[in-house]
Chain A
Amino acid sequence: MSARRTAGGGRIDRTRSVRFHFDGKAYTGFAGDTLASALLACGLTLLGRSFKYHRPRGLVSAGFDEPNALVTILRGDVREANIPATMIEIHDGLVAESQNRFPSLDYDLGAINQLAGPLFSAGFYYKTFMGPAIGPLKGTRLWMLCEPFIRRAAGLGRAGYATDRVRYERMNAFCDVLVVGAGPAGLMAAKTAAAKGARVILAETDPVLGGSANWSNETIDGEDASQWAARTAEALAETDNVRLLPRTTVWGYYDGNTLAALERVADHKRVPENGEPRHRHWTIRARHVVLATGALERPIVFPGNDRPGVMLASAAARYAGEFGVLPGARVAIFTNNDSAYAAARALQRQGAAISAIIDTRPNVSETAAGLANEADAEVLTAHAVVATKGGRSLSGLLARTFDYQTGRFGEAVREIQADCLVVSGGWSPVIHLASQAGTAPIWDDALQAFLPPEPTQKWTGAGAFLGHFSTAEALADGHAAGQAAAGGAKARKPALPKVESLPVDPTPAPVYEVASPDGKGGKAFVDFQNDVTADDVRLAHREGFLSVEHLKRYTTLGMATDQGKTSNIPGLAIMAEARGISIPEAGTTRFRPPFTPVSLGALAAERYGELKPDRLSPMHDWHVENGATMYSAGLWYRPQIYGKAGETVEQAYVREAAAVRRSVGIVDVSTLGKIAVQGPDAAAFLDRVYTNMFSTLPVGKARYGLMLREDGLALDDGTTWRLGENDFLMTTTTANAGNVMQHLEYFLDIVWPDLKVTLTSVTDEWAGAAVAGPKSRDVLAACVSGTALDNETLPFMGIVHGEIAGVAVMICRLSFSGERAYEVYCRAGFGRHVWETLIEAGKPFDIVPYGLEALGALRIEKGHVTGAEIDGRTTARDLYLDWMLSKKKPFIGSMMMDREGLVSEERARLVGLVSLDNQPLGGGAHIVEHNDPHAIRDSIGHVTAVCYSPALGKYIALALVRRGKARHGSRAYISDPLRRRFGPVEIVSHHFFDPEGSRMHG
């Protein structure tokens, strides 16, 4: 191909040259060029290597359907692979490299695969690599031995591991009318809908609006079509109720007329502007959608059709008309329809010589003949291309007489010189989005194309999308669709712009493939990127892979990055012919999102790097400032330990826990779930949701409660405080707060709507600190005013209100640690103030802040359960909480908790373990009756929580062990092969420390 710039025209700015790099070499193009057009203008024809055979490949298209010219864009060490060169706008500093070749695009060792072409036919991998039945390569091992080599050969571009530092952004939009595609139909639809006052969004993949108007050489309303498009776009841009989204591809049509679009905001710039994202992910909720997505030209399958220099006729016309690049000096045309004649004339006018027009049809229309005449081109009717010549670029072709109805060839063969062969096999409307929101597409025999299906959502089509290929029809459709989408009365006679265009009829002869007459001429490719040939399709047929889906999956046809945009219909046609049925009988695949590939970063948008929100306690900063090691618990961050220099985690928590038992400690309990349960029926409601009674709870007291699920298993536990006759404050475990809230709301809304109760999540309203230890009352006494704190006023489970340093507090005397302890709550905003006051008041008693590890150690010593034990598989009985199951009333789960499997004696139940070798135990370790690290089997349970108990001076654990209590006093073994820890333990009661509770009551 000897491509060159045309004398003038196109949307490139010839006054602004742009320097970029491709495969390490510097090139120059013009502003407005794509990488494809710029490289083409520089005379490069070889732009890629195919997936399987590593065949040399050039440009086929000028748009998103490009299968061959995929490149990787480099920005420092950040790589962006598999981008069609046709979709990259060049800018100064652009660095791109070719892919899937070693060592270079010109000399690719992978091309050796071509030699074994017949072996690598469809299904190759399924039929071999089955290893022997015995020996070192038995089973799947032979395959696994070969797989790494296959993997290295496969794949296209290489992704990088470097973090992409740019920003991605998500945007929500609402509109009355979303117009997809800004060709003449889309522009007209947007204009019409906007004029009726509708809020319009017009999205266009290309950077410049206008679609075919930019290269059609037609005239609209007396001016060049591209000027009409530019003027119309400009007017729309100035309309308040219109938002134009160039460089935006609508890729998904989801339920509820929700569409997803990707805007490439800054890919065409060296760096994004300040604050600008690279990509913007749009979620557009449209009342109505106008699909004006146009049509794609199809290639014809013929031997040697993948030689660089063979491209679609419309692509050639686009390069010439839109980018001012003539793809060849001597251009041959191969077509089954009239549309390529217009391309021939356009190319000729831009300076190419048309060496021949090879038309499969025996006769051509007068229009076509006239165009050929104008283009000074010889027309070979009833001919087909049967071979191409040249090495890595086209030098010529063989055309042979051909009867498309019988598929027979004549004897006459002509050799034609050409450095570019442009092909037109007819047009396929771009119905992908419609297919995502419609029934099955409808075959049109005249157009030899699938037309859009019946909508299942609210959209209207316009223009080539409907198979209406002329610009006049597109404008009329666009007007009508804009009207309909905006709603309201129809204008009587729309004044549509006048179009002067060539009356070419794109109705094709049904020619999809020209099979080689003599087995020569080279492979005929259907899917260029995945190297699927017409013979592969026939092989699939021979082996019974008849359905379209089998064909795709067996041959990989249509599975490449272009998703079969150019190959689906030809592949289907070849299969239909092999089966002796029509194309629609052979079926069509349903198109699924995305329409074109979408960057993962854009879809992650703001969540990129910030996956989930952080939930921080009001005292978070204090913890950090005071040396706490924070770790995440769900979305929360909580202090693990407040380590001192040189301390291990164990030393730290043992110190903290011991301080609690000895004197006093303070722990942040703000993260506990808190739900206000209020209303005249609040007590009755709690009786139904808790297994135990709450209606008997006096005002000013708290009670420990247990909830079950409907299926009778334990859901959550916590204390609930009666603040008033109709006013309860429920606490839940931190992790379960959301679940419990939803659980309660469900029952109130759906099961017991007659109960007068309101629920409010107040987790974030309150800051909470638990002050625990023998000196806890002294600490409180030193800073609390407005209430007495003696046993009389504030007994165990009692609640009082008071003040700390000017802040109202609510104090409940309850204990998770087993010590005398008080939970002090205040409004969240005063949390740190109250916390610091408590710390200050505790100083004379050596108060120690303690973290989750110490909290855990204290609760393990007491045998209190948490989420590790209430894990969704345990019952109240498993946890020896059956004393909480009221027999006086039904409650959620009460009828399901006694099923045979849930009351079996064999179930795993809660016990304590004491390490007998004075070595630590590990959470998640299993327990066995017989110690044999070489025969790991017969687990009888597992460890749920572990600690070193400062009170007992031993390593202890809670565990769920089969038959539970019945094993108290017996010997067992820890079996933890993952951490290689084995050792003896004694199974004991889970109430390790102060089982009578004298310390917390005292």
Chain B
Amino acid sequence: MAEYSALSLLKHAWSGNRDWRPAWRKPEPKPSYDVVIVGGGGHGLATAHYLAKEHGITNVAVLEKGWLGSGNIGRNTTIVRSNYLLGESIRFYDFSVKLWEDLAQDLNYNVMFSQRGVLNLAHSPGQADDFIRRGNAMRHDGGDAVWLNRDAIARKVPGLDLSGSARFPVVGGLLQPRAGTARHDAVAWGFARAADRRGVDIIENCEVTGFVRDGERITGVTTTRGEIAAKKVAVAVAGSTGRVMKLAGIERLPIESHVLQAFVSEALKPFVDTVVTFGGGHLYMSQSDKGGLVFGGNLDGYNSYAQRGNLPVVEEVMSEMVALFPGLARVRLLRSWGGVMDMSMDGSPIITTGPLPGMYLNTGWCYGGFKATPASGWCFAWTIAKDEPHPLNAPFTLDRFQRGILTDEKGQGATPQLH
């Protein structure tokens, strides 16, 4: 398949755009593969790409029950960052940011990664110390972070309520300059096309209905499009993890599925050119290239597989928006939607071999899965290819809970809805 470039665009424009080929093939499933990846979302597709690119494993199928990228990769607020507190997280997510920086070339697809910075606003001296602790932790693990005072924030983010009379006055902010946003759908499509170009079969509308076993060992899957044998079966299905793993007889996991809403306003001329988060509540907002303000807040807070949210969270998020930017009262909410999050018990992911022989599991992304997409795929591919974790994902085991070796960024313990 041809490379995308400015030149190819011109050529195609000249011929009336009639000769474009599908971005990825629509193959029929083969009877067997070396690796079958369950889940055609960002992480599954990224895993396929890195399996092919880094490990030369191309006899791979990605099975997607609906349309490609229909899960959280297409429903998030597109933020990419590595502004974490704990070393395990910082190292993993910072590796992800590095992959993001070169992803467009790597995939020959513009994922529109824009390093516009992520600014966490702090609203009390105590919160400022917490954020500085985090920024310093990032710096000690190779990340980038700077502390901005109110004047610097005023210059960077016009329209922000920096008055002392604000209910939660801004005292400063933690900025990660290398963080930013990317075009979420493009990430799914770019990984799909790149994996496809290396020979991976991407099979849409193919729902896994069961696992084929030889004793304990998983040897394939049954699907709505027939049985597919596989030497290795990797599961990367985010909010559907519980449902899919039950098909393999795994009844309990340290995961709960929760609904998270996201919101977008009508398109506006440039209003804010960085990602801003509000520490007086829970809000993150940025502006898309099309001009819509993209924002979100807390989980709805109860187990759900329904991609529908409820009203109290909508009201809470909107009030935080206008608390931050009083000028936004007259801006209008255009769309809201819900995604199903795989909330883990310590708020950190799981990328591991097992829990059954022949099986590999990637889950627990809570609501930070988007930014992790390249690193998750990269580490999961490594884990599948080598049957052991890479040092970057070694902390993210399934048995860390019973062993008490937790990566609990929020310090909330085993209450998934609070992570």
Q: Which of A129, A168, A901 contacts B403 (CB 8 A)?
A: A901
- Whether B8 pairs with A127 at a CB distance below 8 angstroms is yes
- Whether B105 pairs with A130 at a CB distance below 8 angstroms is yes
In the complex, A254 Cα to B311 Cα: how many Å? 7
Q: Which residues of chain A are within 8 angstroms of B9 by Cβ–Cβ distance?
A: 119, 124, 127-128
Q: Which residues of chain B are within 8 angstroms of A119 by Cβ–Cβ distance?
A: 9-10, 13
Q: Which residues of chain B are within 8 angstroms of A611 by Cβ–Cβ distance?
A: 167-168, 280-281, 319-320, 323
Q: Which of B102-159 contact A (CB under 8 A)?
A: 102-105, 108-110, 112-115, 123-126, 128-137, 139-142, 145-147, 158-159
Q: Which residues of chain B are within 8 angstroms of A614 by Cβ–Cβ distance?
A: 167
Q: Is B59 an interface residue (CB 8 A)?
A: no
Q: Is B252 an interface residue (CB 8 A)?
A: no
Closest CB in chain A relative to B271 CB, distance in Å: 5
- Whether B413 pairs with A709 at a CB distance below 8 angstroms is yes
Q: Which residues of chain A are within 8 angstroms of B125 by Cβ–Cβ distance?
A: 631, 640, 923
Q: Which residues of chain B are within 8 angstroms of A977 by Cβ–Cβ distance?
A: 136, 139-140
- Whether A561 pairs with B334 at a CB distance below 8 angstroms is yes
In the complex, A900 Cα to B397 Cα: how many Å? 15
In the complex, A871 Cα to B130 Cα: how many Å? 10
Q: Is A597 an interface residue (CB 8 A)?
A: yes
In the complex, A276 Cα to B190 Cα: how many Å? 51
- The CB with the most chain A CB atoms within 10 A, among B18, B140, B183, is that of B140
Q: How many residues belonging to B are interface residues under a CB distance threshold of 8 Å? A: 120
User: Nearest residue in A to B410 (C-beta to C-beta)?
Assistant: A872
- Whether A163 pairs with B132 at a CB distance below 8 angstroms is no
Q: Which of B13, B114, B129, B328 contacts A923 (CB 8 A)?
A: B129
Closest CB in chain B relative to A992 CB, distance in Å: 19
Q: Which residues of chain B are within 8 angstroms of A594 by Cβ–Cβ distance?
A: 333-336
- Whether B336 pairs with A937 at a CB distance below 8 angstroms is no
- Whether A118 pairs with B408 at a CB distance below 8 angstroms is no
With contacts A130-B105, A159-B271, A161-B159 known, is A632 near B123, CB below 8 A? Answer: yes
Contact digits for A545-557, partner B, Cβ 8 Å, 1 yes 0 no:
1110110011010
- Whether A561 pairs with B267 at a CB distance below 8 angstroms is yes
Q: Is B31 an interface residue (CB 8 A)?
A: no
Q: Which of A955-971 contact B (CB under 8 A)?
A: none
Q: Is B250 an interface residue (CB 8 A)?
A: no
- Whether A978 pairs with B159 at a CB distance below 8 angstroms is no
Q: Which of B68-89 contact A (CB under 8 A)?
A: 68, 70, 74, 87
- Whether A130 pairs with B267 at a CB distance below 8 angstroms is no
User: Nearest residue in B to A163 (C-beta to C-beta)?
Assistant: B326
Q: Is B291 an interface residue (CB 8 A)?
A: yes
Q: Is B189 an interface residue (CB 8 A)?
A: yes
- Whether B124 pairs with A978 at a CB distance below 8 angstroms is no
- Whether B126 pairs with A633 at a CB distance below 8 angstroms is yes
Q: Which residues of chain A are within 8 angstroms of B327 by Cβ–Cβ distance?
A: 78-79, 159-164
- Whether B319 pairs with A607 at a CB distance below 8 angstroms is yes
Closest CB in chain A relative to B260 CB, distance in Å: 14
- Whether A873 pairs with B414 at a CB distance below 8 angstroms is no
Which of B19-27, B233-241, B351-359, B380-388 is the contact stretch?
A: B19-27
With contacts A147-B114, A926-B140 known, is A713 near B330, CB below 8 A? Answer: no
- Whether A600 pairs with B13 at a CB distance below 8 angstroms is no
Closest CB in chain B relative to A550 CB, distance in Å: 6
Closest CB in chain A relative to B297 CB, distance in Å: 12
Contact digits for A91-127, partner B, Cβ 8 Å, 1 yes 0 no:
0000000000000000000000000101101011111
Contact digits for B280-295, partner A, Cβ 8 Å, 1 yes 0 no:
1100000101110000
In the complex, A138 Cα to B14 Cα: how many Å? 28
With contacts A156-B266, A283-B311, A543-B20 known, is A608 near B13, CB below 8 A? Answer: no
Q: Which residues of chain B are within 8 angstroms of A152 by Cβ–Cβ distance?
A: 269-270
Closest CB in chain A relative to B278 CB, distance in Å: 9
User: Nearest residue in A to B129 (C-beta to C-beta)?
Assistant: A923
- Whether B270 pairs with A607 at a CB distance below 8 angstroms is no
Q: Which residues of chain B are within 8 angstroms of A547 by Cβ–Cβ distance?
A: 66-67, 70, 204
Closest CB in chain B relative to A941 CB, distance in Å: 10
Q: Is B231 an interface residue (CB 8 A)?
A: no
In the complex, A333 Cα to B185 Cα: how many Å? 40
In the complex, A712 Cα to B174 Cα: how many Å? 31
With contacts A544-B24, A923-B129 known, is A125 near B112, CB below 8 A? Answer: yes
Closest CB in chain B relative to A108 CB, distance in Å: 14
With contacts A133-B105, A610-B167, A978-B145 known, is A926 near B133, CB below 8 A? Answer: yes
Q: Is B57 an interface residue (CB 8 A)?
A: no
Q: Is B227 an interface residue (CB 8 A)?
A: no
Closest CB in chain B relative to A856 CB, distance in Å: 10
In the complex, A82 Cα to B24 Cα: how many Å? 37
Q: Which residues of chain B are within 8 angstroms of A281 by Cβ–Cβ distance?
A: 315
Q: Which residues of chain A are within 8 angstroms of B310 by Cβ–Cβ distance?
A: 254-255
- Whether B137 pairs with A939 at a CB distance below 8 angstroms is yes
User: Nearest residue in B to A255 (C-beta to C-beta)?
Assistant: B310
With contacts A144-B115, A710-B414 known, is A978 near B332, CB below 8 A? Answer: no
Q: Is A760 an interface residue (CB 8 A)?
A: no
Q: Which of B110, B265, B270, B322 contacts A601 (CB 8 A)?
A: B322
Q: From DSSP, what is the main secondary structure of chain A's interface residues?
A: loop
Q: Which of A82, A132, A592, A599 contacts B335 (CB 8 A)?
A: A592
Q: Is A450 an interface residue (CB 8 A)?
A: no
Q: Which of A857-888 contact B (CB under 8 A)?
A: 867-868, 871-873
Q: Which residues of chain B are within 8 angstroms of A163 by Cβ–Cβ distance?
A: 161, 326-327, 329
- Whether A900 pairs with B405 at a CB distance below 8 angstroms is yes
- Whether B329 pairs with A600 at a CB distance below 8 angstroms is yes
In the complex, A598 Cα to B318 Cα: how many Å? 11
Closest CB in chain B relative to A249 CB, distance in Å: 11
User: Nearest residue in A to B321 (C-beta to C-beta)?
Assistant: A600
Closest CB in chain A relative to B418 CB, distance in Å: 10
In the complex, A649 Cα to B351 Cα: how many Å? 48
Q: Which of A580-620 contact B (CB under 8 A)?
A: 592-594, 597-601, 603-605, 607-612, 614
- Whether B136 pairs with A127 at a CB distance below 8 angstroms is no
Q: Which residues of chain A are within 8 angstroms of B271 by Cβ–Cβ distance?
A: 158-159
Q: Which of B168-206 contact A (CB under 8 A)?
A: 168-169, 174, 183, 185-186, 189-190, 204
Q: Is A925 an interface residue (CB 8 A)?
A: yes
Contact digits for B229-251, partner A, Cβ 8 Å, 1 yes 0 no:
00000000000000000000000
- Whether B408 pairs with A156 at a CB distance below 8 angstroms is no
Q: Which residues of chain A are within 8 angstroms of B34 by Cβ–Cβ distance?
A: none
- Whether A942 pairs with B17 at a CB distance below 8 angstroms is no
Q: Is B331 an interface residue (CB 8 A)?
A: yes
User: Nearest residue in A to B19 (C-beta to C-beta)?
Assistant: A542
Q: Is A539 an interface residue (CB 8 A)?
A: yes
With contacts A133-B105, A543-B22, A939-B140 known, is A118 near B290, CB below 8 A? Answer: no
Q: Is A140 an interface residue (CB 8 A)?
A: yes
Contact digits for B397-419, partner A, Cβ 8 Å, 1 yes 0 no:
00010111110101111100000
Q: Which of A276-306 contact B (CB under 8 A)?
A: 281, 283
Q: Which residues of chain B are within 8 angstroms of A81 by Cβ–Cβ distance?
A: 266, 268, 330-331
User: Nearest residue in B to A78 (C-beta to C-beta)?
Assistant: B330
Q: Which residues of B contact A (CB under 8 A)?
A: 4-6, 8-10, 13-14, 16-18, 20-24, 26, 66-68, 70, 74, 87, 100-105, 108-110, 112-115, 123-126, 128-137, 139-142, 145-147, 158-159, 161, 167-169, 174, 183, 185-186, 189-190, 204, 265-271, 273, 280-281, 287, 289-291, 308, 310-311, 314-315, 318-323, 325-337, 400, 402-406, 408, 410-414
Give 12 CB contacts A-B under 8 Å: A118-B17, A128-B110, A130-B109, A155-B268, A158-B271, A260-B311, A549-B67, A593-B336, A599-B331, A607-B319, A633-B124, A896-B404
List 17 other contacts, CB 8 Å, given A599-B329, A603-B315: A79-B330, A126-B110, A140-B101, A155-B267, A539-B17, A546-B67, A547-B204, A592-B336, A600-B321, A609-B326, A612-B281, A614-B167, A632-B168, A923-B132, A924-B132, A975-B140, A977-B140
The 3 A-B residue pairs with the shortest CB-CB distance, nearest first, are A872-B411, A601-B329, A155-B291
